[in-house]
C-alpha cells in the first residue's frame, strides 16, 4: 500500500509542458513528458456496404476510405471480391454466383470470414479506427452475422446501402468499372456485359433491402437513385454523423476541378514565406494567361473560388468573372515565422526548423498552424467541392497540397511534399475509382518555392532522424 506522502504524489496534478512539435500541452514529470491519461469517446467502427452488384458500393467505399484517412481517421477498405479473386484464380462465369451453387456459396462464405478476420486484426491490433467491409451483404442473415461479429469484438456497425433501379446508371457502371475487372480480362465487351447481367440476377432472387421496421435497431443510410433521396436511421456518434454528411454531398455527375496557385507574389520573389503581398510583374502576366486559358477551355457554369488574401484576389480579378472568397482557403499561418526566409528561420529558430523537417505534416509553427490544422480547416471546402460541378480554385501552395492529397489519396507523410509549382494549372477529373490529373504550364517564368524532403536531425542530436514518438517526447527545456 502507498503511504500518505506517496499517495499525495501519485494523485497531485502533474505539471504541464508544451510539446515542441505540435505546440500542445502535455503532462510533465521528472524531466520528461509523461503518458497522457487517454479517454476514447468512440469505439472502432465497421462500415458495411449493402446492395446489388453495379450499384456503386465500391465507388462509395473507396471515396469514404479516402475521405476518412484525409481527415485523420485511420481507415482501411476490405473488398470481399478481391478475397474471392485471390482464392479463385480463374473466374469462369456467373454460374459461380447462383444461389443453388453449394461450392460457390461455401467459397464466398470463407472469403467473407477471411475478410472479417482481417477487419478484426486491423481494428483491434493495428490501431485502425474504421474498417469498410465492401461486399453485397444482400441478405438479413449475412448482415446479422456481421452484427454479431462486431458485438463480440466491441465494434460499432454502420450500414451503407446503395439502391438504384435506373438502367442507364447501372449500364454505365458496368461499362466504366466492371469491364476492367480481372474477372473479364479474357472476354469481349458483349460477353462480359451479358455475364455480369446474369450475375446481378443471381443476387436479385435473395436480395433483402434494409427495412424501416425490421431493421429499425440498426444504424444505416440508404442512398436511393444515385443520391436523389436518402434515408438515415439511428446515427450514434460523430463519426457516423460525418459519414452521413459526406455521403449526402458526393455525386457522380461528370465534372472537372481546376487548381492553381496565385500568380508569383512580391514576397515569393524575395524568398519569404506567408505574408499578404501583391503580385509581381510576372505574377500579373500569369493572371492574364490564366484568363485566356479559362476562356479557351469553354467550361460550362464554371465557379471561381479564391482565398481572402491579396495575391489570389488579384489573380482572380484578371479573369473578369464573378468569384467567391473563402477564408478557409487562406495560406497556412506561419505564426512567428511569417514573412521570414527559410535561412532566417534556421538561424533564429534552429529547433523549430529541424522539428518541421522531422514531421512536416504535424509540426505547428509557433503561434501558427500545421498541415494537420490546415486539413481540418479545409474540410468544408472539400465538402462543397464534392457538391459542385466545374470549379476553379485559386489558392496557395500548402492549401493546394492539401486539396490535391484528398483527390489523389496521398498519405499525411506525402502531402507536405507534393509539387504545386507557380503558374501551373492542374485539371482534376474524378473517375470511377480515382482521379485523372492533367498539368498545364502557362509559360510564364517564376521562382521555385518547393522544398524537397530534407534528411536532417535535431540540432545537437546524434540521431539522423527521430521517430514521431521520439519527437513527441522531446522537452524544450532539454534542448
pLDDT reading at 471 higher than 50: no
pLDDT reading at 7 higher than 80: no
3: confidence class by pLDDT, cuts 50, 70, 90:
low
Listed in sequence order, the residues at least 6 apart from 13 whose beta carbon sits closer than 8 Å to its beta carbon are none
CA distance 41 to 292: 52
pLDDT reading at 303 higher than 70: yes
CA distance 258 to 323: 14
- Give binding residues as ranges: 261-268, 311
CA–chain centroid gap for 289, Å, is 32
State the pLDDT at residue 23: 84
CA distance 313 to 322: 11
Q: Mind listing the pLDDT tens digit for each residue in 111-148?
A: 999 999 999 999 999 999 999 999 999 999 999 999 99
> Do residues 165 and 55 make contact, with C-beta atoms less than 8 angstroms apart?
no
Active site residues: 262, 331
How many helices (H) does the chain have, and how many strands (E)? 16, 15
Q: Mind listing the pLDDT tens digit for each residue in 14-70?
A: 788 888 888 888 887 776 766 655 445 579 999 999 999 999 999 999 999 999 999
Average pLDDT over residues 252-266: 96
> 263 is written with which cell numbers?
500568380
- Give binding residues for substrate as ranges: 261-268, 311
User: Residue 44, SS3?
Assistant: coil
State the pLDDT at residue 186: 82
CA distance 394 to 178: 36
Average pLDDT over residues 233-250: 96
> Do residues 219 and 155 make contact, with C-beta atoms less than 8 angstroms apart?
no
> Do residues 258 and 426 make contact, with C-beta atoms less than 8 angstroms apart?
yes
Q: Hunting for cell 435506373 — which residue is that?
A: 166
Listed in sequence order, the residues at least 6 apart from 143 whose beta carbon sits closer than 8 Å to its beta carbon are 48, 50, 137, 159, 218
CA distance 131 to 75: 6
How many other CB atoms are there within 10 angstroms of residue 260's CB atom? 26
CA proximity to 291, closest of 260, 267, 270, 268: 260
State the pLDDT at residue 456: 57
Q: Mind listing the pLDDT tens digit for each residue in 175-222?
A: 888 877 888 888 888 999 999 999 999 999 999 999 999 999 999 999
Three-class secondary structure assignment of 441-466:
ECCCCCCCCCCCCCCCCCCCCCCCCC
pTM above 0.85, yes or no: yes
pLDDT reading at 469 higher than 80: no
State the pLDDT at residue 253: 86
Residue 229 pairs in a beta bridge with: 224
State the pLDDT at residue 179: 77
464: confidence class by pLDDT, cuts 50, 70, 90:
very low
> Do residues 207 and 141 make contact, with C-beta atoms less than 8 angstroms apart?
no
CA 245, 430, 76, 149 torsion-angle sign: positive
**Over the range 87-112, which residues count as b (16 or more CB within 10 Å of their CB) and which as e?**
eeeebeebebbbeeeeebeebbeebb
pLDDT reading at 301 higher than 90: yes
State the pLDDT at residue 474: 47
State the pLDDT at residue 133: 99
Average pLDDT, the chain: 91
| Domains of the chain as residue ranges with CATH | 45-248 (3.40.50.300), 257-449+459-468 (3.40.50.1240)
Q: Hunting for cell 446479422 — which residue is that?
A: 144
2: confidence class by pLDDT, cuts 50, 70, 90:
low
How many other CB atoms are there within 10 angstroms of residue 10's CB atom? 8
Amino acid at each position: 500500500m502507498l503511504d500518505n506522502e506517496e499517495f499525495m504524489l501519485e494523485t497531485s496534478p502533474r505539471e504541464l509542458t508544451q510539446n515542441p512539435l505540435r505546440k500542445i500541452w502535455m503532462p510533465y514529470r521528472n524531466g520528461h513528458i509523461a503518458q497522457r491519461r487517454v479517454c476514447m469517446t468512440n469505439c472502432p467502427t465497421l462500415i458495411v456496404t449493402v446492395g446489388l452488384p453495379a450499384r456503386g458500393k465500391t465507388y462509395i467505399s473507396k471515396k469514404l476510405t479516402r475521405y476518412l484517412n484525409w481527415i485523420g481517421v485511420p481507415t482501411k477498405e476490405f473488398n470481399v471480391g478481391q478475397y474471392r479473386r485471390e482464392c479463385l484464380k480463374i473466374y469462369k462465369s456467373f454460374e459461380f454466383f447462383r444461389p443453388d451453387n453449394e461450392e460457390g456459396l461455401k467459397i464466398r462464405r470463407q472469403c467473407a470470414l477471411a475478410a472479417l478476420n482481417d477487419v478484426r486484426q486491423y481494428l483491434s491490433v493495428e490501431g485502425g479506427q474504421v474498417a469498410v467491409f465492401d461486399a453485397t451483404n444482400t441478405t438479413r442473415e449475412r448482415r446479422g452475422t456481421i452484427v454479431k461479429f462486431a458485438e463480440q469484438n466491441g465494434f460499432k456497425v454502420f450500414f451503407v446501402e446503395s439502391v438504384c433501379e435506373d438502367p442507364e446508371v447501372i449500364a454505365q457502371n458496368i461499362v466504366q468499372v466492371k469491364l476492367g475487372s480481372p474477372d473479364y480480362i479474357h472476354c469481349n465487351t458483349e460477353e462480359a456485359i451479358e455475364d455480369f447481367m446474369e450475375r446481378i440476377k443471381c443476387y436479385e432472387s435473395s436480395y433483402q433491402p434494409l427495412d424501416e421496421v425490421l431493421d429499425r435497431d440498426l444504424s444505416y443510410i440508404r442512398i436511393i437513385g444515385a443520391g436523389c433521396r436518402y434515408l438515415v436511421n439511428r446515427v450514434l456518434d460523430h463519426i457516423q454523423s460525418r459519414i452521413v454528411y459526406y455521403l449526402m454531398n458526393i455525386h457522380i455527375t461528370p465534372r472537372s476541378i481546376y487548381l492553381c496557385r496565385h500568380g508569383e507574389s512580391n514576397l515569393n520573389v524575395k524568398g519569404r514565406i506567408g505574408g499578404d503581398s501583391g503580385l509581381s510583374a510576372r505574377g500579373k502576366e500569369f493572371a492574364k494567361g490564366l484568363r485566356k486559358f479559362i476562356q479557351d477551355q469553354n467550361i460550362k457554369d464554371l465557379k471561381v473560388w479564391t482565398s481572402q488574401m491579396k495575391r489570389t484576389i488579384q489573380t482572380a480579378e484578371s479573369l473578369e468573372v464573378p468569384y467567391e472568397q473563402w477564408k478557409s482557403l487562406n495560406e497556412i499561418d506561419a505564426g512567428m515565422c511569417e514573412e521570414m526566409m527559410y535561412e532566417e528561420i534556421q538561424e533564429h529558430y534552429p529547433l523549430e526548423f529541424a522539428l518541421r523537417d522531422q514531421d512536416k505534416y504535424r509540426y505547428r509553427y509557433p503561434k501558427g498552424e500545421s498541415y494537420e490544422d490546415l486539413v481540418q480547416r479545409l474540410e468544408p471546402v472539400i465538402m462543397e467541392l464534392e457538391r459542385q460541378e466545374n470549379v476553379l480554385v485559386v489558392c496557395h501552395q500548402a492549401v493546394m497540397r492539401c486539396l490535391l492529397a484528398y483527390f489523389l489519396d496521398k498519405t499525411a507523410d506525402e502531402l507536405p511534399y507534393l509539387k504545386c509549382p507557380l503558374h501551373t494549372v492542374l485539371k482534376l477529373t474524378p473517375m470511377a475509382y480515382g482521379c485523372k490529373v492533367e498539368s498545364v504550364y502557362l509559360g510564364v517564368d517564376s521562382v521555385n518555392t518547393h522544398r524537397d524532403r530534407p534528411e536532417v536531425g535535431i540540432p545537437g542530436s546524434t540521431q539522423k532522424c527521430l521517430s514521431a514518438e521520439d519527437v513527441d517526447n522531446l522537452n524544450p527545456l532539454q534542448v
